[in-house]
Amino acid sequence: MKQIQRNRGIGALILLLGVLAWTAVSAIELGEGAPLGLFEAQGTMRYLDLPANIVQIDDKRYRLAQNTIWYGLNAGASLMQQLLQAVNGEVAYIVDAKQKVPTVNAIWILPSEGK
């Protein structure tokens, strides 16, 4: 009986984590061809936590804006796979200086040949 309850608890936790990941990925807004000159800085994306809205670029952590626009992603491919592949890759980004906490409004995942 305890084993069944434990399995149900683990199953519920896995389902909850799956829903959180799906919600975060489904909310991603893809941008269309913005000029690189609009982006303030470039760096290496070291960490990405979509459910918590956190991104680490180089050695600094930023909050992701609710309506963060992602450039350089292919709409036809798996978004989650593309984002995981982008970790430790070069990105360009725009920081909203009006926020109390440093917040990124847009991220352009640069192609590997553009390093």
For 66-106, the pLDDT digits (tens) are 888 888 888 888 888 888 889 999 999 999 888 889 999 99
| Residue 48, SS3 per DSSP | strand
Global pTM reads: 0.65
The model's pLDDT over 29-51, given as tens digits with 9 standing for 90+, comes to 545 555 556 678 899 999 999 88
Helix and strand counts by DSSP (H, E) for the chain: 2, 6
Domain definitions of the chain by residue range: 2-114
Assigned token pair, 51: 């459910």
Pick the CATH number of 2-114 from 3.30.365.10, 1.10.1660.10, 2.40.50.320, 1.10.10.10: 2.40.50.320
3-state secondary structure of 82: helix
